Amino acid sequence: MLNKIMLIGNLGKEPDMTYTPSGTAVTKFTLAVNRRSRDRDSGEKREETTWFNIVAWEQRAEFCSQYLHKGSKAFIEGRMTSRRYTNKDGIEVTAWEVVAENVEILDPKGASQSGSSGAGGSDDEMGADDIPF
């Protein structure tokens, strides 16, 4: 069986990092993925946006919280998961989330990232080979 999803999009809000009661870091954020198409009848270009809820755990959660920001372009590779809960109105709801297994920042080199300051410039942007997971 295979459960894999790959997304490229932009963060819709600042990542929100919290900790479980046992101390495990968890970061949640939304990712907007745009799909461009052309209307068959009119030939008019259309853009459709799909929003995904992303969840990252442990070191990956800390990385996302530190380096991703609202508007950041990112590649997320992970697996889809669902969870059921009862909302405040007593209605059972199914929530779908992507559990991030690989995260890569796709912002252009030199794009501003708050909180990144390091000697030699090596901390300004991390490449795929620099990510420890």
Q: Domain limits of the chain?
A: 5-130
Distance of CA 93 to the CA centre of its chain: 22
How much is the pTM?
0.75
60-99 pLDDT, tens per residue?
Answer: 999 999 999 999 999 999 999 999 999 999 999 999 999 9
Beta-bridge partners for 46: 37
* Homologous superfamily (CATH) for 5-130: Nucleic acid-binding proteins (2.40.50.140)
1-48 pLDDT, tens per residue?
Answer: 999 999 999 999 999 999 999 999 999 999 999 998 888 888 889 899
Please give the helix or strand (H or E) that residue 58 lies within, else none: helix 58-67
pLDDT at 125 over 50: no
Work out the angle at residue 4's Cα, subtended by the Cα atoms of residues 13 and 52, and round it to the nearest 5 degrees. Answer: 20
